[in-house]
C-alpha cells in the first residue's frame, strides 16, 4: 500500500538522486542519508532511501545521528570527506545544524532537508508536510472508520 508518508520518503531520496549529473551516476557515485532515531518511522525512511538509491543505480551511505547534534556534524564531515554528491537529512536543529550543512554546501554537495528545515536558505531543497493537513485527514479517516465499525453508536 502506497501511503502519503512513503511517497514523501521516496520523494526525498529520489530528489537527492535526481539532482545529480548523469555522469556522476554512471561513475557509481554515492549519496548520503541521515536519520536521527531508531524508531519504526526512521527505519522505514532508511528502507525507502535504500530502495530509491538502488533503483537509481546510486550507492547510499546511510547513518543515524542518534538525536545528537555533534554526531550529525561528524556524519556530515565524514560524507564530505567521502565525496558524496548529495546528503538527504532531517536536520536536528533549525540553527545548530546550519554550520555543518553550510560546510557541505561549500564543498559542492547538494543538501536536501526533509521533515524539518533550518533557518537558512542554503539547502537545495526542503521537503516537508503539513501537520494541519495530516491532522485533518487523519480525523476524517477516523470518523469514517468509527461510523462504519460502530454504526449508529455514540462513540
Domains contained in the chain, number? 1
Instruction: For residue 96, tell me if it sits in a domain.
Output: yes
Instruction: For residue 149, tell me if it sits in a domain.
Output: no
Instruction: For residue 151, tell me if it sits in a domain.
Output: no
Instruction: For residue 16, tell me if it sits in a domain.
Output: yes
Rounded mean pLDDT of 39-44? 91
Kindly state the cell numbers that stand for 41.
Answer: 518511522
Instruction: For residue 138, tell me if it sits in a domain.
Output: no
Residue 38 burial (CB count, 10 A): 10
The residue ranges of DSSP E strands in the chain, in sequence order, are: 30-35, 59-64, 86-89, 110-114, 125-127
Instruction: For residue 154, tell me if it sits in a domain.
Output: no
pLDDT tens digits along 51-80: 999 998 999 999 999 999 999 999 999 999
Quick one: pLDDT at residue 7? 47
**Could you tell me if 89 and 72 are in contact, meaning their C-beta atoms sit under 8 angstroms apart?**
yes
* CATH number for 71: 3.40.50.2300
Instruction: For residue 140, tell me if it sits in a domain.
Output: no
Instruction: For residue 61, tell me if it sits in a domain.
Output: yes
pLDDT tens digits along 91-114: 999 999 999 999 999 999 999 999
Range of 36's domain? 4-130
Q: Does 32 score more than 90 pLDDT? A: yes
Amino acid at each position: 500500500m502506497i501511503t502519503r508518508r512513503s511517497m514523501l520518503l521516496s520523494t526525498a531520496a529520489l530528489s537527492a538522486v535526481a539532482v545529480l549529473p548523469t555522469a556522476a551516476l554512471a561513475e557509481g557515485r554515492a549519496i548520503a542519508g541521515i536519520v536521527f532515531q531508531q524508531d519504526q518511522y526512521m527505519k522505514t525512511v532508511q528502507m525507502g532511501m535504500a530502495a530509491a538509491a538502488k533503483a537509481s543505480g546510486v550507492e547510499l551511505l546511510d547513518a543515524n545521528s542518534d538525536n545528537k547534534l555533534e554526531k550529525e556534524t561528524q556524519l556530515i564531515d565524514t560524507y564530505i570527506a567521502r565525496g558524496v554528491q548529495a546528503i538527504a537529512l532531517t536536520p536536528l536543529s533549525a540553527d545548530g545544524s546550519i554550520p555543518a550543512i553550510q560546510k557541505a554546501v561549500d564543498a559542492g554537495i547538494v543538501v536536501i532537508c526533509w521533515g524539518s528545515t533550518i533557518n537558512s536558505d542554503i539547502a537545495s531543497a526542503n521537503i516537508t508536510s503539513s501537520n494541519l493537513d495530516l491532522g485533518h485527514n487523519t480525523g476524517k479517516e477516523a470518523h469514517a472508520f468509527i461510523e462504519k465499525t460502530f454504526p449508529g453508536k455514540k462513540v
